[in-house]
Amino acid sequence: MKKLFDIQRKFRFTVYVLLITSLSMIGLSVYVFTISLNLVERSKQKIYVLDNGKSLLVALREDITENRNAEARDHVKRFHELFFTLEPDKQYIENNVREALHLSDRSAMDQYQSFKENNVYNQVIASDISMTVQTDSIELDFSAYPYRFHFFGKQKIVRKSNITIRNLSTSGAMRNISRTDNNPHGFLLENWRIEDNKDIETIRRKQF
């Protein structure tokens, strides 16, 4: 009888050990499975870029999305700075406009031709005029493609006798293109137009 009791006790002990072992293995399997899923999700958020076949760069997709917004703003800002920053130097004007035209479609060329026909550039050179642009704000709409934008800023026109401040408001769309040396952000402005470019104030310069 005692021997039978010992056998039953050992059997129960073995069952308990097997049960605990099984539960531990199941818990470990669930843990490993959860960790694996997290690693897969994290790997999906990464892209690998070869830099001339030498270095391997890792960038998070979320960071790229955030940077894309910043790049879009800088693209719009850079275009307006190039297109509207003028000095009484023909080569300087042509270089700025040429760089700006790489960032936009035909609509910018049409505006450039309009300025030329109205002798804007000739007047800048002949009258020693300097023009600069200050960006106030840039509104972007990424809810639809191509993306819409509005640029708001001020244009400062310095002449020998006075300084004129103009409002500068433009709008258009932008689409993704391949990045190039001339267009490092990979955006192209489309249907760009000037909505408002009226004088705000004129300040007489002191004559020395």
First CA to last CA distance, the chain: 124
Q: Is 63 helix (H, G, I), strand (E, B) or coil?
A: helix
Q: Is the pLDDT of residue 59 over 50?
A: no
Q: In the prediction, which pLDDT does 126 show?
A: 96
Contact 156, 203 (CB under 8 A): no
Dihedral, CA of residue 7, residue 13, residue 14 and residue 15, to nearest 10: 110
Report CA-CA distances (Å) from 185 to 62, 78, 178, 181: 17, 10, 8, 9
* Predicted local distance difference test score (pLDDT) of residue 21: 77
The residue count of the chain comes to 208
Confidence at residue 57, expressed as pLDDT on a 0 to 100 scale: 47
Q: Which CATH class is domain 70-204?
A: alpha beta
Summarised one tens digit per residue, pLDDT across range 142-188 is 999 999 999 999 999 999 999 999 999 999 999 999 999 999 999 99
